[in-house]
Homo-oligomer: A and B are copies of this chain.
């Protein structure tokens, strides 16, 4: 009834989830938490956004019936536990997260469109897929979330999701739409990392 074909090659999909899960486990490691807490953070960051998307569009939650996703998140937590934190403190992880953000925002939009969600909510599903895992991670850790920081994070997800929605709406081939939307989202997030770009903030309450 609904499309069963995977939207990404399964191995690539697991790599993306593992990157997000690693950012979660490392937040817990920096807070000097236990292995069990690191596992919980790895899982919620890796699958949180996609879980909310699937609940909202009425799809079976992608990782619950899957034999590989949860073990991958557990393995990532173990890796983060046994390796020195400084291995992960370079910019590589940040750039990997930028790529994961762009890929998952496009994936979320494409999946929502495949489930007959209209374009504007489908774009929002893409943003949710890319960002919500990290937002829950930050709320649980009691730190300011990506949502509340001016750097271009949610914005890069929104760009990727919008281009994915627009490309499908005007009839571009899906493969081309994927490439363009991921490239644009990744480029914007990368520019934000490299040049510390941020959006302008609201001026707040009017000065007296």
Query: What is the number of residues of chain A that contact chain B, defined by CB distance less than 8 Å?
Result: 65
| Complex alpha-carbon distance, A140 and B25, angstroms | 21
Given A51-B56, A140-B147, A204 contacting B61 (CB threshold 8 A): no
B139 lies within 8 A of A85 (CB): no
CB pair A36–B158 under 8 Å, yes or no, is yes
Chain B contacts for A204, CB-based, 8 A: 29-32, 85
Task: Report A181-208 residues with CB < 8 Å from chain B CB.
Answer: 198-206
- Within 8 Å CB of A70, what residues of B? 120-121, 124
Q: Which chain B residue lies CB-closest to A208? A: B86
User: Is A96 an interface position by the 8 A CB rule?
Assistant: no
Is the CB–CB distance between A58 and B56 below 8 Å? no
The chain B residue with its CB closest to the CB of A146 is B37
| Known pairs A34-B150, A148-B37, A150-B34; A206 contacts B158 (CB<8 A) | no
Q: How far is the CB of A59 from chain B (nearest CB, A)?
A: 10
Query: Is A28 among interface residues, defined by CB-CB distance under 8 A?
Result: yes
Answer whether residue A22 sits at the interface, using C-beta atoms and an 8 A cutoff. no
